[in-house]
């Protein structure tokens, strides 16, 4: 009986997971392939969906990498375009209120594919990803 109780997943967690998987499905429907730049919070969901995340909670990435990532998603700077180019990012999955979403909306070579109150997905349109 205790094992069954441990395996129960709260409804809000199931709903959030299925929502992220649904957003990732939108990318698949459009046959978008290549590396993703994701919100740290979505890393586990991407792993569950079989997609290698840019960042997640499994590894220690090092202070320099974390600082670059934090700057790229939180402030309007040149760091986001640099990371997108350096890692050949083809699409993004970021929290809807992440400042980087606004930058991506205006960044040449990118377009918003999907957005809701939880997340936004952008895809590269300039063909620079592999």
Mean pLDDT of the chain: 80
Other Cβ atoms within 10 Å of 22 Cβ, number: 12
- Tokens read off for 64: 């320099």
Q: What percent of the chain has pLDDT over 70?
A: 73
Residue 3, pLDDT above cutoff 50: no
Burial per residue of 40-54, b for 16 or more beta-carbon CB atoms within 10 angstroms, e otherwise: bbbbebbeebebebb
Give 9-46 pLDDT, tens digit per residue.
Answer: 344 444 554 555 566 666 666 667 889 999 988 888 88
**Residue 15 near residue 102, CB atoms below 8 Å:** no
Pairing of the two strands 110-115 and 91-95: unpaired
């Amino acid at each position: 009986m205790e094992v069954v109780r441990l395996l129960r997943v709260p409804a809000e967690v199931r709903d959030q997971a299925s929502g992220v998987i649904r957003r990732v499905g939108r990318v698949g429907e459009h046959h978008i392939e290549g590396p993703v730049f994701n919100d740290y919070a979505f890393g586990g969901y991407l792993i569950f969906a079989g997609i290698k995340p840019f960042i997640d909670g499994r590894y220690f990435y090092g202070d320099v990498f974390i600082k670059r990532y934090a700057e790229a998603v939180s402030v309007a700077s040149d760091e986001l375009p640099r990371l997108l180019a350096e890692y050949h990012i083809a699409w993004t999955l970021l929290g809807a209120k992440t400042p980087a979403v606004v930058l991506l909306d205006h960044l040449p070579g990118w377009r918003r594919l999907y957005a809701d109150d939880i997340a936004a997905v952008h895809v590269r349109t300039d063909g620079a990803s592999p």
